[in-house]
Amino acid sequence: MTQPTQASPSPAAANQATGAAHADEAAVSQATHGATERSDQAPNTDGIWYASYPADVPHEIDVDKYESVVQFFDECIAQFRERVAYVSVGASMTYGELGRKATAFAAYLQGIGVKPGERVAIMLPNTFQYPVSLFGVLKAGSVVVNVNPLYTVRELAHQLKDSGAQTIIVFENFAKTVQDALPGTKVQNVIVTGLGDLLADGLNLKGRLLNFMLRHVKKMVPAYDLPNAVPLLEALAIGYTRPLALVRPTHHDIAFLQYTGGTTGVAKGAMLTHRNIIANLLQAKAWAEGQLSGEVETVLTPLPLYHIYSLTVNALIFMGLGGRNILIANPRDMKRVMMIIRHEKFTGMTAVNTLYNAFLENEEFRKRDFSNLKLAMAGGMATQRSVAERFKAVTGKPIIEGYGLTECSPIVSMNPVDISNLRDFEGSIGLPAPSTQVRFRKDDGSWANIGEAGELCVKGPQVMKGYWNRPEETAKVIDDEGWLATGDIGVMDSRGFIRLIDRKKDMILVSGFNVYPNEIEDVIAAHPDVREVAAIGVPDDAQGERVKVFVVKRNPSLTAEQVIAHCRKNLTGYKVPKVVEFRDELPQTNVGKILRRALRDEELAKQKTA
């Protein structure tokens, strides 16, 4: 699925098959320059997607099946108690152990005065500590505020102040950032943990040795001064001795303040209720469980669990299946990733386009046996055709792409997962999820019909309650009828499949013609000597904007002239880049999504200086 890591209400997650690009332009032109009469009538797209649903997928889900994420968690723990829930750094944690530790942590939080509804920040990578803290906070009746461990002091300070969090759980590697961000916040309780803390019970010699190596040999823990911080192991020891006061969150209580990444402005906290989360995990579970067996499914989790996509898909959906999660703390360290999964047989994996590309560049990954792989899911950004085709050639399995955004918990649409009937990569983001309505609003305010482009709007039980303490911002994206405007331009075909054209704000206007960066990127990424690419529009006195691309080479001998010549073969003249700049790497979010905005800001700063 595609979901945002930026402050806008939706992701830069567009994608399309190159061969259909001209049809898209015509559709956009029709939507932009066509009839101006406003119509409030329902479009002829409503519900047409149900005819394309897999036979075993229901049209609606029962969102009342669980009253809260806590009830769902407790049921999974009881049902799968003896199964392994998580694998990390060569150790494993069963569902029973997870339940016991989460309950102890919840009891500790209650003991230090954390109240139901109070916000608790979690600043942890993919380690055992994350699910223990996550479900401990929820069992205490509090609200999870997920924090990217790589945040700067400024970013962290904003999120702590904005959320009003009074408690934070942090990896010791990032404790110095917390120390510097605390002034001006309401934080009273800091809980610190090291990588090896939860690797085993008892003496945990392996974990203690690992912590010693990271702190004193590899020097990966910067010195910090948090005199009142409590070690997580101490917090759990105290929690084991205390009873847990039963808290029963309701559907309308907030479960998560899930902050958008803030790359285009001030980060906003999307209020995701227990109902939102329950609805989305049931929607996705209903969609995928027919493909999965009653055996233990193992999912590779390289995307951070604090990110809404991985949180919903890996942490929650696979928990509902009694799945086994292989946690990858640092997916960019490909050598270590290969070492972790060398002897693992996983049946599912989630990643973004850039991470799939990195896997495919690794010789060991290409030589793996993928006979056990059932589902490879993509989100976070557009999956490029070249990456999808290479992945299928290597693994024999397609990448299943979907679409979502933080404000929708995140899943909006999904492609069918019946591997025996999958088509070649089409660039579609699939069909609307069960209990989800999707429409496309044209520039004149009327609803688009089949084949007409417009802004994708979503309505369903997974749509957020609103932005935390920002009613004006909420009103900008959710109308009186509950339709969430995503900011993405898309079109629906006669089968109900959705294809995104691009983000409104990422569109480049060249001499009055709309140019979509994803189309250009898709074409250039297909060049065998290109590893990664990003396209932006830069100001131009004559044309309004001109196209500039940033390319990371796979072949060092690649030239700008070759890139432009390749584009001329595949793109209309006004879409061909006028400038090619080579980079060693492109700016990315923590989940590997390329930041066009950062590149655009660099260009504007250069022009201003000049």
Dig out the tokens for 367 from the structure.
């030589």
Taking CA atoms, 544 is separated from 196, 242, 512, 540, 569, in Å, by 55, 66, 8, 5, 24
pLDDT at residue number 424: 55
Enter the DSSP assignment of 55: T
What residue spans in the chain does CATH classification 3.30.300.30 cover? 508-609
**DSSP annotation of 459:** E
Long-range contacts of 295-298 (CB under 8 A, 24+ apart): 296/83, 296/84, 296/322, 296/323, 296/324, 297/321, 297/322, 297/323, 297/324, 297/347, 297/348, 297/374, 298/323, 298/324, 298/325, 298/326, 298/344, 298/345, 298/346, 298/347, 298/348
Strand (E) or helix (H) holding 596: helix 596-609
CATH 3.40.50.12780 residue spans of the chain: 18-62+276-503
Strands 508-510 and 513-515: antiparallel
Q: Which pLDDT belongs to residue 15?
A: 33
pLDDT at res. 13: 33
Place of tokens 């979907």: 402
Structure token digits, residue 409: 């918990």
In the chain, the largest separation of any two C-alpha atoms, in whole Å, equals 73
Asked if the 89-249 domain carries CATH number 3.40.50.980, the reply is yes
Token couple for 192: 């610190």
Token pair 């990448």 in the structure block, residue: 399
The three-state DSSP-derived secondary structure of 231-285 is EHHHHHHHHHCCCCCCCCCCCCCEEEEEECCCCCCCCCEEEEEHHHHHHHHHHHH
Using DSSP, how many helices (H) and how many strands (E) does the chain show?
19, 26
Cα angle 354-356-357, degrees, rounded to a multiple of 5: 60
| Distance (Å, whole) CA 148 – CA 316 | 19
Spatial CA neighbour of 276 closest among 128, 376, 143, 164? 143
In 3D space, the residue among 516, 532, 499 whose CA is nearest the CA of residue 386 turns out to be 532
How far from 396 is each of 295, 344, 419, 424, 453, CA to CA, in Å? 22, 18, 10, 12, 34
Q: Give dist(CA 312, CA 306) in Å, integer.
A: 10
* Integer Cα distance of 251 and 115 in angstroms: 18
**Residues in the chain where the model's pLDDT stays below 70:** 1-40, 201-203, 261-266, 293-294, 418-426
pLDDT tens digit sequence for 513-552: 778 898 899 999 999 999 999 999 999 887 889 999 999 9
The answer to whether the CB of 103 falls within 8 A of the CB of 136 is yes
408 three-class SS: helix
Over residues 380-431, the pLDDT tens digits come to 777 888 999 999 999 999 999 899 999 999 999 999 876 444 455 667 899 9
508-609 topology per CATH: GMP Synthetase; Chain A, domain 3 (3.30.300)
Q: Where in the chain is the domain with CATH 3.40.50.980?
A: 89-249
CATH number for region 18-62+276-503: 3.40.50.12780
Alpha helices in 80-152 (DSSP H): 95-111, 129-139
Beta strand extents in 260-398 (DSSP E only): 269-273, 298-301, 324-327, 348-351, 375-378
Q: Tell me, what's the pLDDT at 315? A: 95
Report the pLDDT value the prediction gives residue 505, as an integer from 0 to 100. Answer: 75
**Cβ contact 458:402 at 8 Å:** no
